[in-house]
Amino acid sequence: MIITKGGELMKQYKTGIYLRLSKDDGNSESSGIESQRILLREYAEEHGFEIVKEYCDDGYSGTGFDRPAFKKMLSDAESGKIDLILVKDLSRLGRDYIRTGSYIEEYFPQHDIRFIAVNDSYDTENAEMSELAPFKNVINEMYARDISRKIRSALYAKMRSGKFVGNFPPYGYKKESGKLYPDNDEAADTVKRIFEIAAKGVTADKIAEQLNLSGILSPLDHRCKIQGRPLPGIKWTGGAVRKIVRNPVYCGTLVQGKTRKTSFRSRTSKSVPPEQRFVCKNCHQPIVSENTFSLANRLISIDRNSQKKSPLGGFVRCGECGGKITFPKGFAVCRNGCLDGSAITEEDILCQVDKAVNGNFREMTLAERVQKVGEIVVSQKGIEVKALIDKFL
Ligand SMILES: [Zn+2]
């Protein structure tokens, strides 16, 4: 539409204002959503732009473009609902200079959209100013990189000092000013119970069954109850039990930094090798002793199917390749073929194990076996029994 104002011909723009704020923008008052809104409304009024719509991404980082209001604004621009976009500065649009630049230099002109970044005096209708935009975009990206690094190093410092940085404390614990304390409700008791039963040799699936029969809430339901949200009705599973038994947090060791973002721009994470994680021993009050923890872990991990076939099942590995050893026809066979199946018998190994533990391995319960023997290594050269007697007794 063309209207006349003061004798001049002027295009009447359909203006959309775009507001964005996230923690990577720092805490300055002037960057707040409300102050962006006031600034843009005043600017629109001064210049006679009619605001038809406001788009607001509160809590969305400028390093990504997967923001709901931003996407809505582009689709409105494509369908012609708006033809002028106002932002406070270029960094509101984004902090990734290549993609921000491509919106400003390609996308907006292609779709006949005028774009103004008020505080950067940037206007696609004003060619001279446009030349500075690429530099401004590079600076915006450097700023995002720097803030992201600062947030990360503050987080690492906390992890290093043994502060719990997660949003939710592990099941059975509560968080008070960055430290974990055993919860006084049923969760900590349930954790204790799980470890006690697991240390007797009961499988994770059986433990889950028992917990469900006793009507104990699963970790997920328990968290919802604490937060006063409706319970999703998730039951205990073998997996949930194993996850608890394997978590060293319950014997007082806090392990953090297990994953890391692939880049400051990305939302995907990759796993961090165990030796690079932040490990804090005796970090908080344990719920179970270290012995119970390691016994329960040994028992929950041992291969039950192999145990059904031989008392040695799950204990023996190959000295050449580390592979699993089975005993078809009473002879030790490596799954990778290192042992030819005629050198060492199951009896040979049992005989040596009995000597090492000074007892009858065959007649022991699984819990007793696990407490006595760590691992048994066999190779063409012989049999090596690593007994755990000292560790547990
Ligand atoms: Zn082998």
Alpha carbon of 338 to ligand 1 centroid (Å): 4
**Look-up of token digits 């089975």:** 326
At 10 the pLDDT is 66
pLDDT digits (tens, 9 = 90+) for 66-93: 999 999 999 999 999 999 999 998 889 9
Structure confidence at residue 31 as a pLDDT band (50, 70, 90): low
Alpha carbon of 371 to ligand 1 centroid (Å): 25
In angstroms, the CA 244 to CA 234 distance is 16
Alpha carbon of 307 to ligand 1 centroid (Å): 20
At 389 the pLDDT is 53
Alpha-carbon distances of 334 from 36, 375, 381, rounded to whole Å: 69, 15, 14
At 9 the pLDDT is 59
Alpha carbon of 277 to ligand 1 centroid (Å): 31
Chosen CATH of 2-144 out of 3.30.365.10, 1.10.110.30, 3.40.50.1390, 3.40.190.10: 3.40.50.1390
pLDDT reading at 210 higher than 90: yes
Buried b (16+ CB within 10 A) or exposed e, 346-358: bebbbebbeebbe
What are φ and ψ of residue 392, in 5° steps? -100, -20
Alpha carbon of 378 to ligand 1 centroid (Å): 9
- CATH 3.40.50.1390 positions along the chain are 2-144
Alpha carbon of 337 to ligand 1 centroid (Å): 6
In angstroms, the CA 89 to CA 12 distance is 23
Alpha carbon of 97 to ligand 1 centroid (Å): 54
Alpha carbon of 270 to ligand 1 centroid (Å): 31
Alpha carbon of 366 to ligand 1 centroid (Å): 25
Structure confidence at residue 152 as a pLDDT band (50, 70, 90): confident
Alpha carbon of 332 to ligand 1 centroid (Å): 10
CB-CB contact of 24 with 148 (8 Å): yes
- The H or E element containing residue 370 is helix 366-372
Alpha carbon of 324 to ligand 1 centroid (Å): 7
Alpha carbon of 245 to ligand 1 centroid (Å): 30
Alpha-carbon distances of 206 from 183, 201, 214, rounded to whole Å: 25, 10, 12
Alpha carbon of 180 to ligand 1 centroid (Å): 44
Alpha carbon of 367 to ligand 1 centroid (Å): 27
Q: Which of 6-20, 61-75, 373-387 has the highest mean pLDDT?
A: 61-75
Structure confidence at residue 8 as a pLDDT band (50, 70, 90): low
pLDDT digits (tens, 9 = 90+) for 228-265: 999 999 999 999 999 999 999 999 999 999 888 777 77
CB-CB contact of 22 with 59 (8 Å): yes
**For every residue of 198-249, which 3-state class applies, written as one string?**
HCCCCCHHHHHHHHHHCCCCCHHHHHHHHCCCCCCCCCCCHHHHHHHHHCHH
Alpha-carbon distances of 327 from 30, 322, 384, rounded to whole Å: 74, 16, 17
What are φ and ψ of residue 87, in 5° steps? -135, 160
Alpha carbon of 379 to ligand 1 centroid (Å): 8
pLDDT digits (tens, 9 = 90+) for 290-305: 999 999 999 998 888 8
Structure confidence at residue 392 as a pLDDT band (50, 70, 90): very low
In angstroms, the CA 273 to CA 69 distance is 38
Choose among 109, 111, 87: nearest CA to 15.
Answer: 87
The DSSP output letter for 324 is: B
| Residue 217 tokens, joined | 């809430």
Whole-model pTM: value is: 0.65
- CATH 3.90.1750 positions along the chain are 161-295
Alpha carbon of 376 to ligand 1 centroid (Å): 13
Alpha carbon of 311 to ligand 1 centroid (Å): 20
Alpha carbon of 316 to ligand 1 centroid (Å): 11
Alpha carbon of 320 to ligand 1 centroid (Å): 5
Alpha carbon of 312 to ligand 1 centroid (Å): 16
Alpha carbon of 73 to ligand 1 centroid (Å): 62
| Residue 324 tokens, joined | 């699993």
Choose among 129, 135, 128: nearest CA to 117.
Answer: 129
CATH of domain 161-295: 3.90.1750
In angstroms, the CA 240 to CA 109 distance is 54
